[in-house]
Amino acid sequence: MVKPLGELESLVMEIIWSSPALTVREVCDRQDGSRRRAYTTIMTTMDRLFSKGLLKRAKDGIAWRYQPAVSRHDFEHTLADQLAVEIVQVHGEVGLAAFVEAASADPEMLDRLDALIAARRREQ
């Protein structure tokens, strides 16, 4: 099961997804200047992301070089699927209505929702 990322985990994954393979130092150097985190904080976060299966790593001299174990698209798709199932299971029709309400804020998105529903019906 994929869990939503915390703020710092999201920051690290955004940096990793935008680059090939990076060391902790390289991730630290690519942080935005407004809220820079300490090297040890980034190192701990990357180790936790590795333990969660979101990063893979290989030794590069004395450092670890990290790269994504899953693409941003696959992570977001899996997370969205899990959240949608949970919302519908827990909230039923109210959850479905919330999806429709959220989609109706953008006519193009509502059309896309309609097309997805029609495509799913054709598959059955």
Query: pLDDT tens across 6-39, in order?
Result: 999 999 999 999 998 999 999 999 998 778 999 9
Q: pLDDT tens-digit profile of 89-123? A: 999 999 989 988 988 889 999 999 899 999 999 99
Q: What is the pLDDT of residue 20?
A: 84
**7-68 placed in CATH 1.10.10.10:** yes
pLDDT, mean of residues 33-62: 94
Give me the residue spans of the domains in the chain: 7-68, 72-123
Can you name the residues that pair with 30 across neighbouring β-strands? none
Q: What is the pLDDT of residue 73?
A: 97
Split at pLDDT 50, 70, 90, the class of 70 is: very high
Q: What is the pLDDT of residue 3?
A: 86
d(CA 103, CA 98): 8
Q: What is the pLDDT of residue 103?
A: 87
Residues 55, 16 contacting (CB under 8 angstroms): yes
Nearest Cα to 5, choosing from 57, 37, 48? 48
